[in-house]
Amino acid sequence: MISSISGEIISIGEDDLTININGLGFLVNVPKSVCAEHHPGQKITLFTHLVVREDVLALYGFNTLEERDLFLLIIGVAGVGPRIGLGTLSFLSTDAIRRAVLSEQAEIFNRVPGIGKKTAQKIIIHLQGRIKATGPMESLSAMDEVDSEVLEALVSLGYSVVEAQTAIQSIPSDTPQDVEERLRLALQYFS
């Protein structure tokens, strides 16, 4: 129905923006990363999806078509609504979602607040075959055991899964497969 929206940001909430379009303020629910990247007064274009329910009209916006398409796939899972879909895209990057699906790592989705083991498994099953590899398979292959341990350590230190995965990706490829060394280098990413 409403495929995209462009205008000036009036205000920013925790996970929503109010966008002025010709004098009308549209409340758009967005991933937390969108809120962090923008500021009031800035012009913005978002790809959107309008959710129509009996008691509410809610507009969800995303920086890219890929994010919006992933959102639509996630909310297509039985028992997963728009809030969980938005939370997933707030907590995991599109690359992390793709990797988790292609490597069948339901535990990645399990880390998202509001998603339990059964729902995580349903998401993996639903998205398999619908998500394709976009680059070389080695970059999309399952995270090895060492990097999984580093990810767990970073998350336990308070970093989000997205931040932890970004830090792990910043580790030079010639770094030895030692948990402590890789964790040290990942922590350097944050300093």
81 and 99 co-located in one domain = yes
CATH number at residue 112: 1.10.150.20
pLDDT at 88: 92
pLDDT at 140: 37
Side chain identity, residue 61 = G
133 and 69 co-located in one domain = yes
147 and 100 co-located in one domain = no
Contacts of 27 (CB under 8 A, 6+ apart): 16, 17, 18, 59
Q: Which residues span the domain enclosing 19? A: 4-62
pLDDT at 138: 38
74 and 45 co-located in one domain = no
Q: What is the mean predicted confidence (pLDDT) over 17-44?
A: 93
pLDDT class for 72, splitting at 50, 70, 90?
A: very high
User: How is residue 19 annotated by DSSP?
Assistant: E
Shortest CA distance to 73 belongs to which of 120, 32, 123?
123
Instruction: Provide the domain count of the chain.
Output: 3
Q: CA-to-CA distance for 152 and 168, rounded, in angstroms?
A: 11
83 and 58 co-located in one domain = no
95 and 129 co-located in one domain = yes
Contacts of 66 (CB under 8 A, 6+ apart): 94
161 and 114 co-located in one domain = no
12 and 48 co-located in one domain = yes
Residue 179's alpha-carbon distances to 100, 114, 184, in angstroms, are: 21, 29, 9
pLDDT class for 135, splitting at 50, 70, 90?
A: low
Q: What is the mean predicted confidence (pLDDT) over 68-97?
A: 91
CATH number at residue 36: 2.40.50.140
User: In this structure, how many other beta carbons lie within 10 angstroms of the beta carbon of residue 114?
Assistant: 12
Question: Strand 57-62 to strand 24-29: parallel, antiparallel, or no bridges (unpaired)?
Answer: parallel
pLDDT class for 96, splitting at 50, 70, 90?
A: confident
